Structure 1
Amino acid sequence: MPHTFDLLVIGDANPDVVLGPLHEPLAFGQREQLVSTGMLTLGGSAAITACGAARLGLSVAFAGRIGDDDAGRFVRARLDALGVDTEALRVDPALPTPLTAVITRDDDRAILTASGTLGATRPDDIPEDLLARSRHVHAASYFLMPELAAGLPGLLETARAHGATTSLDTNDDPDGQWDPAGLATVLPLVDFLLPNAQEALALAGPSAVSLESAAARLASYGPRVIVKNGGKGALAYDGRTPLRTRGTPVRPLDTVGAGDSFNAGYLAAVLAGLPPEQALELAAACGALSTRAHGGTTAQPTWDEALAAATRNRENQ
């Protein structure tokens, strides 16, 4: 079957309410605290990655689940407006669309999520013909969707059987368990694993005492491991040769979704046939440039913008 889409993204999509920066501890006791910025924007690691990839010029489809409510209609409208195909975005008749509040402070943030439809998202929400028609399949927020996570090996096997490459960004585990048994069945089916530094160390377990050792441990399952490390750049390890980039210097306005924009850049670079070092540099540029405005999708770069930033950064290193 010919490929219709460059990229299929599976996972979470929800409105984000982003407030901040907060310059003092979050207060209870019915105290009202004022911040300089607040916005309603599209959130969810999978959704932000999908939009970033579409902005970079890829044909992108999204599969997941929302509620039959205003929040769900907002999610679909934003994905559609940003160039993402939403035919496989299912509507749950009973559960609400997830909702996330993000409180920013300095270069950190607190995240509160009402899970809504996330726990009900299932493997059969992902049409097999869509897996067959996509060059690459990316899954996100593994720990927020346990039913989908349990069926992820089968989905990735199907995608690979139709010639697709695969990737995973687990994101954080709110329970702090990191499911080593489940991941041991998933990671051998993943071509690219895209954690941030904290997640890489947690996924690798207590034997990992550095990002390099964490990447090596995770790469032993099979994937190329690409570790995002914020302003310090990124590390890629394929089990043989570590690659590093210092990243793109930028004065961030809002880092929400930067890692997801990095994901989009890396996948777009790989699908364009860029060599690993250049893919890492372009991904870092995408992550950095996305911080130029508030919200995860507002400042996502075009391909030409990202390529120019990556080239400048390479010349200055």
Structure 2
Amino acid sequence: MTVLDGIRQNNFLVIGRAGMDFFPDPPGTRTEDGVTFKAGLGGSSANIAAGICKFGGKAALVTRVSDDSIGRYCVNQLHHYGVDTTHVKPVGGEYRNSLAVYESRVEDHQTVIYRNGAADFQMDRGDVEAVDYTAYGALITAGTVFAAEPSRGAAFHAFDLARKAGLPIIFDVDYRPYSWPSPQVAEEVLSRAGALADVIVGNDEEFGFMAGGIEKGLKKARDLAASTAGIVIYKMGEKGAITLSGGEEIRTGIYPVTALKPTGAGDSFMAGLMAALAAGEDLRAAVLRGSACAAITVSRPGCAPAMPDPAELNAFLGRHPGPNA
């Protein structure tokens, strides 16, 4: 199965965390001044799965959640978006779901992450061995899943099982320093995961981190595209992205918007990219649709709730003047 053949099945196995997002309302309010707060589904992998389902695709999540009301909230939210939770299992004891408290503002934006004793890090080999990989077209995961054991070993085992079943592996580097024991461990583990992936998405800082310096990031992306990965997407913030595939480099811009917050863009980009490729769009068009999804998401409160559906994306593309050069 080729990478695109797998993606075009539009049926994804997504591995990684689901969490609760908490943000003060109305937009612009500082957390310390908040009186009313809204909640939403969060966590990179859960957001990606929700975004795919919003576009009519299928996504099943593999993770652990806390055996309490917050864990059940996350499962209920996954159901709300249509994500298959067959492989979302509770874990007891003192393990807790992650909580992200962030603000819907750009200037002096604050995000506070609670990840002590994270429930999702308790995903183990048994969890990934319980999956029938032949039922899916592709596997997606984000870098946070590799930050601690037993989740790290389970995720690498899932890569092996997916490879044996012929599934392409799609990896969002998604480096979050607060989740890792040290930068050195993160560099080693994320580089190992990247070398096993068929599609790699990351920003210039993340590729630079894996390469040992931001000035080396683009070379790292090019080396991966020339050796092990079929598609590598090197994101550069407001400067757009460079997509490397089949010896070509495709440069695309972003869709300028008035951002309400900086969070959620990467997850929405991945969901939009996968949906577009599944629908048969070429690589350039798919990257641009992913970029448009990211622009929409940063212009709204929340992460999963802010991600567009097809009608919203098409309306945005219809009224927007287009990506910058």
Q: With structure 2 as the length reference, what TM-score do the two structures score? A: 0.83
CA contact (8 A) 1:118 1:145 kept: no
Cα gap change, 1:34 to 1:271, in 2 (>3 Å): same
Q: Aligned partners of 1:36, 1:231: CA distance in 2, in Å?
A: 33
CA contact (8 A) 1:5 1:61 kept: no
Q: Distance in 2 between matches of 1:310 and 1:280?
A: 13
C-alpha separation between the residues in 1 aligned to 2:227 and 2:313?
A: 31
2:215 equivalent to 1:209: yes
Cα separation, partners in 2 of 1:210 and 1:285, compared to 1, 3 Å: farther
The 8 Å contact of residues 15 and 155 in structure 2, kept in 1 or not, is answered as: no
Pairs within 5 Å for 1:98-109: 98-104=97-103, 106=106, 108-109=109-110
Instruction: Choose which of 140, 145, 161 in structure 2 pairs with 1:142.
Output: 145
The question of 1:262 aligning with 2:269 is answered yes
Look up the SS of the partner of 1:209 in the other structure.
Answer: helix
For 1:173, give the aligned amino acid: P
SS class of match (1:33): helix
Question: Residue 248 of structure 1 contacts residue 309 of structure 1 at CA under 8 Å; is this kept in 2?
Answer: no
Q: Taking every aligned residue pair, what percent have the same amino acid on both sides?
A: 27
Which residue does 2:112 correspond to in 1?
A: 111
The structural deviation recorded for 1:127 is 4.3
Partner in structure 2 of residue 226 of structure 1: 233
How many residue pairs match? The answer is 306
C-alpha separation between the residues in 2 aligned to 1:195 and 1:316? 20
Q: Which residue of 2 aligns with 1:236?
A: 243
The match for 2:3 is none
Q: Which residue of 2 aligns with 1:9?
A: 14
When residues 34 and 234 of structure 1 are mapped into structure 2, their CA distance, relative to the original with a 3 A threshold, is: same
Confirm or deny that 1:167 pairs with 2:170: yes
Opposite residue 40 of structure 2, the aligned amino acid is T
State the Cα deviation string for residues 212-231 of structure 1 (Å, max 9, x = none): 33422443552222133344
Which moved further from structure 2: 288-297 or 229-238? 229-238
Q: 1:284 aligns with which of 282, 291, 306?
A: 291
Q: Which has the higher helix share?
A: 2
Alignment of structure 1 residues 1-317 onto 2, 5 Å: 6-19=11-24, 21=28, 33-35=32-34, 38-104=37-103, 106=106, 108-115=109-116, 116-140=118-142, 141-171=144-174, 172-174=176-178, 175-177=182-184, 179-206=186-213, 208-209=214-215, 211-220=217-226, 222-223=228-229, 224-238=231-245, 240-307=247-314, 309-310=316-317
Residue 37 of structure 1: how far off its partner (Å): 7.0
The question of whether the paired residues in 2 share the 8 Å contact of 1:178 and 1:203 is answered with no
Give the RMSD, CA atoms, in angstroms: 2.8
Distance verdict in 2 for CA 1:153–1:239, change over 3 Å? farther
**CA–CA distance in structure 1, aligned partners of residues 138 and 56 of structure 2:** 14
TM-score, normalization by structure 1: 0.84
Give the whole-Å Cα distance in 1 for the aligned partners of 2:52 and 2:36: 26
Seen in structure 2, the aligned counterparts of structure 1 residues 246 and 177 have a Cα distance that, compared at 3 Å, is same
Letter of the 2:127 partner, please give it: D
Gap runs ≥5 in structure 1: 24-31
Q: 1: distance between equivalents of 2:321 and 2:197?
A: 29
Provide closer, same or farther for how the CA distance between residues 178 and 215 of structure 1 changes in structure 2, counting only shifts above 3 A: farther
Give the unaligned 5+ runs of structure 2. 1-5
In structure 1, distance between residues paired with 2:47 and 2:89: 18
Q: Which amino acid aligns with 1:111?
A: V
Cα offset for 1:84?
A: 0.6
